[in-house]
Chains A and B, each alone.
Chain A
Amino acid sequence: MSVENAPVVDVDEAAIPVEKKMYYRFESNDKKEFRVSELAIQQSETLNRLVEAMGYTSEDVENKPAIAIENIDGKTLKLVFQWCEHHKGEAIPVDDGSVPKIVEIPEFDAKLMDIDNGLLFKLIWAADYLNIVQLLNVSCKKVANMAQGKTPAQLRRVYLLPSDEEDEAAKRAAQEAQDPRAREVEEEFEERKRQGGNSFF
């Protein structure tokens, strides 16, 4: 899809600007474009610095090309910007470890993150990459909450984690892929043991 044909998603549709607001345009790595308000951008340290460095003014912001965010796809970026728009103007928490952190997930965030694991992990990654502190906090909390009250077997299913056997098999497979001779040597060793030899050499 070309940039010109890409749909422009206004993530702040409900809020009709009364005053002249400044909107930035961003483009995901799958060429989806988003219009995001200046205030919402402030939730992301990375984006905030980026637009500052680019020196946009309210006059030229519409005419300049959308800012490309190469590492994040449209679906994830949409969630990110929805979150930023909802939480715009809110104070950004300082995470310096000085006080025990209590993270509570607001209702809006809980609904927003009612998504599959893959997208949730991407959201965490995006929040980290874009340095959105509170989104990172709540998304990590959400993943952590998924573990609550689960047995090891349930955790394997929830997070798609391997069991010890699968883990060992994966390690063996990786070893064999690196050194195909290893398996042969091992088999030869076993065979010699069976034949009564106590030394491989």
Chain B
Amino acid sequence: MAEEELAEEPVNRASLIGIPPELFAKILENCEFDSIFSLRKVCHSLRDYLLVNKPSIQFTYIHLVERGSRMILHLHTVSTVRRIDNLPWTQFKSDVKLILDHADSKVKSFGVYLVRDRQPRNRMSSQLLKFLGSYLESRREKLQIEMFTTDNTKTFIPILSNVQGNLNDITFICIKLPPASSNEGRRVTRGMIREDKTWNLVHFPLELSRLPAWNQAHTFDTGFGEAIITTSVMLFLHFNLLNCGFLKITEEEVSAVAQAFIQNQQKVFYWLKIDNFANREEIVNVFGEESHFDAEGTLWWYFRTVHENRWLRVIIEGGCIRLDQIFDLPPGSIVRDFN
């Protein structure tokens, strides 16, 4: 019955501008982030309003990807997943800044994934890393420093900001900040890892500026063998954007990482260095290990992750240690108890 009556009257085309501010804010709360991007470009007034009010965008995951000359944003909210492709650098940078500024939410993971080929190095990677470095630097006060060890804070930010263009072809860097319960000087112990259910397996305070030119492969001492640094960079920061409390990695997240490895199994991932562990014995002490030769005579090592029945497979080949994937231990494997 409402429709009949409405049809009799001329259409009342009211402007959004006439809406009271508190209701306008409520509408913006419901807007997807790309709508907010578009709204910013409508007019100065709206842009100014959005800059000041920063409507919350409830992201759960933010992943930034550089793939050759293309920049890609993967944005996950509670209800949607968006992938924004082929962004020019300037727009990418402004969008990322906008997202980070507006993301008034507990982000489960914030990742940067850089993939490069053997082409002359694109400057975007270093721009992106510098940008993220300065962003993190600017938010240093907001990071809950008590959660960081002093050393970690010093190590972490230069990783992003000291990329000077002589860095090349890093295969895999995965940064996992230490568990919330850690404090300066305390080493990661088996008990803590198990208690916190955090995934400290990959934590690389790699000094990127020491690395040679991009077009050269480089061997890197892992402390328990050498790794070849080759074709891509993956930098994965697990932290909470606003509170920067350290996140506990859930079983689902481990599965997601495992899935990512499985999908990329044609690529080679190298395990470079594990900061929290001085040597292989310590890793083994924490995680336990199993190894066997496959039919082709390749020696595979399995390190137990903190999650029951999940194992990280590592291949040791030609003096390199390769992170392969996380998965269930193959049936019939014998697990030695190192306790």
Residues on A close to B: CB < 8 A? 75, 78-79, 82, 100-103, 112, 114-119, 121-122, 124-125, 128, 136-137, 140-141, 143-145, 147-152, 155-156, 159-164, 166-168
Contacts and interface: CB of A to CB of B under 8 A. Distances in A.
Interface in B59-80: 77-79
B6 interface: yes
Interface in B15-71: 15-20, 22-23, 26-32, 34-35, 38-39, 41-46, 58
B43 A136 contact: no
A121 B14 CA distance: 8
A160 B12 contact: no
A148 B18 contact: no
A97 to B, nearest CB: 9
Nearest to B104: A97
Given A115-B2, A147-B39, A167 B45 contact: yes
B295 interface: no
Contacts of A152: 38-39, 41-42
Interface string B182-212: 0000000000000000000000000000000
16 contacts: A100-B77, A103-B30, A114-B3, A115-B6, A116-B11, A117-B14, A140-B30, A144-B29, A144-B32, A152-B42, A161-B46, A162-B43, A163-B42, A163-B43, A167-B45, A168-B44
Contacts of A167: 43-45
Contacts of B2: 75, 78-79, 82, 112, 115
Given A115-B6, A125-B20, 6 more contacts: A78-B2, A121-B18, A136-B26, A161-B42, A161-B46, A164-B43
Given A112-B2, A143-B27, A161-B17, A150 B105 contact: no
A124 B29 CA distance: 14
B30 A144 contact: yes
B65 to A, nearest CB: 22
Contacts of A160: 13-17
B42 A124 contact: no
B44 A147 contact: no
A74 to B, nearest CB: 9
A152 B36 CA distance: 10
Size band of the interface chain B makes with A = 35 or more
B28 to A, nearest CB: 7
B43 A144 contact: no
Nearest to B22: A128
Given A102-B78, A162-B43, A164-B44, A144 B28 contact: yes
A160 B105 CA distance: 31
Contacts of A145: 30
Interface of B: 1-3, 5-6, 11-20, 22-23, 26-32, 34-35, 38-39, 41-46, 58, 77-79, 105
Nearest to A160: B15
Given A140-B27, A155-B38, A118 B12 contact: yes
B30 A116 contact: no
A79 B31 CA distance: 24
A159 B6 contact: no
Contacts of A114: 3
Contacts of A116: 6, 11-13
For the complex of A and B, list the 3 residue pairs with the smallest distance between their C-beta atoms, beginning with the closest: A118-B12, A144-B30, A159-B16
Contacts of A166: 43
B104 to A, nearest CB: 10
Contacts of B20: 125, 128
B152 to A, nearest CB: 29
A12 to B, nearest CB: 13
Contact of A155 (B29, B42, B79): B42
A146 to B, nearest CB: 9
Contacts of A79: 2
B30 A141 contact: yes
A117 B13 contact: yes
Most B-side CB within 10 Å, residue of A101, A116, A147, A164: A147
Nearest to B18: A121
A163 B3 CA distance: 32
Contact of A119 (B6, B23, B27): B6
Contacts of B12: 116-119
B48 to A, nearest CB: 10
